[in-house]
Amino acid sequence: MLFHVRMDVAIPHGLDPAERDRLVTTEQAKALDLQRSGVWPHLWRIVGKYSNISVFDVSSSDELHDILSSLPLYPFMTIDVTPLAQHPSDLAAQP
C-alpha cells in the first residue's frame, strides 16, 4: 500500500542543543535505513520549511503508524497521511 505523508517538524527552541543534534542524527540514519529497505521510496524537502513530503510503501496502515511513531523526531512532528490508489489514467495502468 502506498501512502503520501507530510511531516512538519517543530523542535522546541529550549531543547538542549546536544540532544537536538543526537535526535537529528538518529532520525537521518533511520530514514536512510528505511529508504534502503524500500519502505520509504520517496522523500522530498518542502522548500523553506522543516518539512517533507514522502511516499511510503508498506503492507498496512498499522505498519505505517509503527514506522512513523518510531522516528526519533516523532514527538515533534505534525503528520498528515493520505492513502494512495493507482489512477486509471496513469501510464502504468494502461494495457
78 has a pLDDT exceeding 90 = yes
For all residues of the chain together, what is the average pLDDT?
A: 96
92 falls within a domain = no
Taking alpha carbons only, the member of 22, 28, 26 closest to residue 40 is 28
**CB distance 8 to 51 below 8 Å:** yes
Does pTM surpass 0.85? yes
95 falls within a domain = no
21 falls within a domain = yes
93 falls within a domain = no
Per-residue pLDDT at 94: 84
What phi and psi values does residue 92 have, to the nearest 5 degrees?
Answer: -65, -20
Q: What angle do CA 21, 27, 30 make, to 5 degrees?
A: 145
How far, in Å, CA of 69 to CA of 61, rounded? 12
66 falls within a domain = yes
How far, in Å, CA of 77 to CA of 82, rounded? 16
92 has a pLDDT exceeding 90 = no
Write the pLDDT tens digit of every residue in 14-45.
999 999 999 999 999 999 999 999 999 999 99
CATH code: domain of residue 81:
3.30.70.1060
8 falls within a domain = yes
CB atoms within 10 A of CB 10: 11
81 falls within a domain = yes
Q: What range defines the domain where residue 75 resides?
A: 2-48+58-85
> How many domains in the chain?
1
Write the pLDDT tens digit of every residue in 43-71.
999 999 999 999 999 999 999 999 999 99
